[in-house]
Structure 1
Amino acid sequence: MDSATEAFVAHRNLLFTVAYEMLGSAADAEDVLQETWLRWAGVDLGIVRDQRAYLVRIVTRQALTRLRTLARRKESYLGPWLPEPLLTSPDVAEDVELADSVSMAMLLVLETLTPTERAVFVLREVFDLAYDEIAEAVGKSAAAVRQIAHRARSHVAARRPRAVVSPDETRGVIEAFQRAVETGDLQRLLDILAPDVVLLTDGGGVVQAALAPVVGDGTVARVLGRISAAASLQPAQVNGCPALIVRVDGEVDTVMAVRIDDGLITGLYAVRNPRKLSHMERETALRR
């Protein structure tokens, strides 16, 4: 490999992770990587002091451009829009901060930020970039980036899960949830669902799904009780956290992730749109 290709390959997983955290879409993150490569291939490496920082700057700018396109797409999306789930390797779960940052619950919180706030938050809080590096990536002054970072941190802190839940605790809740669904035990479901639990189902207008959030433990439990008896539930690591893959006739039908607060499920995220399930048959490498 030539030096440009070697550098890009060395940092590819990092660049994908940056793009994915900014976009919540693996397909769009892959497109951003292609655009990043095209620009990187034309750079004079002799003027590049820090290849990693330079590549992160390119991928951030491309992701910011793509975010605006995604915003228009989401406006016409049928029903709730959920991030594209990723089957992740065990090492992602071992990095607690990385796993938290790519969890479905956190990605939905990041959706409430402006594009620039999201970029600044991701680069600072997840990847620990210096303010001057972020400033170059987003086209702002370092002082402005500090203000944006403070604003984004406050916004996220008010909306994120109240505490980081350990993988063991999440796994225990997932196992109890799986048993309750498989046995149709309504009371067992009610025991692990928060009274104000919210179920979001993303079918994208392609498959059947609720077009509005389903709220309340009783209502959510009844909806879950309709899961086909022919379906099989398989535990998996999704976005760095324990989750369930629902298969029908061996094919991935739904990916179900959870948000847990104080030992109860407060959020259920069911991705059914088949266009978003292509990354569930092989692990995706994420890196910081």
Structure 2
Amino acid sequence: MDHQDQLAAQFERNRGHLRAVAYRMLGSVSEAEDAVQEAWLRLSRADVSEVANLAAWLTTVVSRVCLDQLRTRKSRREDSYDTFVPDPIVTRIEPAGAPRVDPEEEAVQADAVGLAMLVVLETLAPAERLAFVLHDLFGVSFDEIAAIVGKTPVATRQLASRARRRVQGAPQGDGDVTRQREVVNAFLAASRSGDFEALLSLLDPDVVLRADAGNIPADALAASRLIRGAEDVVRQALLFAKLSPHSQPAEVNGLPGAVTVVNGKLFGVMSLEVRNGRITEINILADPDRLNHLPLPA
């Protein structure tokens, strides 16, 4: 095996980790793949003979690529933060009556990064997001992060701290995967039957619904919108009752959610946050352009 083949093999061993870092940094499946591919290109052109920890080197490279992307697109999304929903990752679509997963798998799901957190991360400054993701989610030291963002370790620690406060202040679920699955199934059933009271009983009074339909005209039924409050969210849910028979439970970002598929075409992906048996936040991606490029399990 020649040197280039050895590098390629080492890179492939780290690809999953690099993709995970890039996705949490960017909230986009396609952009994350592009960042990982750029890391490979830089590796293939670099002399890494003196690099003691290639995984750390690659993490630094992909982080810098992501930071550049975040800085480039920052102004592009300032007007759409309220309704922007990051790309979801659907890893399983559950047929009706599917058995529950085992406790070990549920523990893995409970540690997943949900869309609600990614929505909050979209509102952070690029350096704040990088510091939080690398330190809090991947355990990278502040000394290493400081070298990436061009700040002192103390300043980098402050970036992560500010980001952490924003994340902790957002609506969050309680990590009870079994209960969340029950609530998702109940929500889908109530939507299909058009049961206003049943839907209302499942929602926290201060629930937030965020629907990202991309560039669909503002007067369209499925236009992007942000809705707060249980009764208004129920009314919005009932507007889409005709699509509810096509919705089914799915695993979205490692947690129970739902997808809507009509004639083999993906119409929407829904993620919910559940606390104490009530839905506190609903995030829906209904952007046709992005859904067309969303990888789904076979």
TM-score, structure 1 as length reference: 0.89
Deviations 1:12-35 (A, max 9, x none): 111111111111111111111122
Structure 1 residue 156: Cα displacement: 2.2
User: Which residue is 1:158 aligned to?
Assistant: 169
User: Which residue is 1:245 aligned to?
Assistant: 259
Q: 1:175 aligns with which of 182, 185, 196?
A: 185
Identity %: 38
User: Which residue is 1:8 aligned to?
Assistant: 11
User: Which residue is 1:68 aligned to?
Assistant: 71
User: Which residue is 1:55 aligned to?
Assistant: 58
Q: 1:128 aligns with which of 123, 139, 146?
A: 139
User: Which residue is 1:194 aligned to?
Assistant: 204
Deviations 1:10-60 (A, max 9, x none): 111111111111111111111111221111111112121100100000000
Aligned equivalents of 2:24 and 2:210: distance in 1? Answer: 20
User: Which residue is 1:260 aligned to?
Assistant: 274
User: Which residue is 1:140 aligned to?
Assistant: 151
Mapped contact 1:56–1:137 kept (Cα < 8 A): no
Closer/same/farther in 2, CA of residues 109 and 264 from structure 1, 3 Å limit = same
TM-score, structure 2 as length reference: 0.86
Mapped contact 1:53–1:133 kept (Cα < 8 A): no
Deviations 1:118-154 (A, max 9, x none): 1111111111112222223333222322232233223
Mapped contact 1:109–1:160 kept (Cα < 8 A): no
Deviations 1:86-137 (A, max 9, x none): 11368886435640xx201111121232111111111111111122222233
Q: 2:87 aligns with which of 76, 84, 87?
A: 84
- Is residue 127 of structure 2 the alignment partner of residue 119 of structure 1? no
User: Which residue is 1:232 aligned to?
Assistant: 246
Aligned equivalents of 1:273 and 1:254: distance in 2? Answer: 8
Deviations 1:203-252 (A, max 9, x none): 11147423431222222112211225354111111111110001122311
Aligned equivalents of 1:143 and 1:34: distance in 2? Answer: 32
RMSD between aligned residues: 2.3
Structure 1 residue 195: Cα displacement: 1.7
Aligned equivalents of 1:229 and 1:110: distance in 2? Answer: 33
Deviations 1:60-81 (A, max 9, x none): 0000111122223324659821
Closer/same/farther in 2, CA of residues 110 and 132 from structure 1, 3 Å limit = same
Mapped contact 1:57–1:136 kept (Cα < 8 A): no
Counterpart residue identity of residue 119, structure 1: L
Q: 2:117 aligns with which of 106, 109, 118?
A: 106
SS at match of 1:15: helix
Equivalences for residues 183-222 of structure 1 within 5 A: 183-206=193-216, 208=220, 209-222=222-235
Q: Provide the aligned length of Structure 1 versus Structure 2.
A: 280
User: Which residue is 2:47 aligned to?
Assistant: 44
Mapped contact 1:97–1:126 kept (Cα < 8 A): no
Aligned equivalents of 1:219 and 1:16: distance in 2? Answer: 37
| Larger mean Cα displacement after TM superposition, 18-27 or 76-85 | 76-85
| Larger mean Cα displacement after TM superposition, 9-18 or 143-152 | 143-152
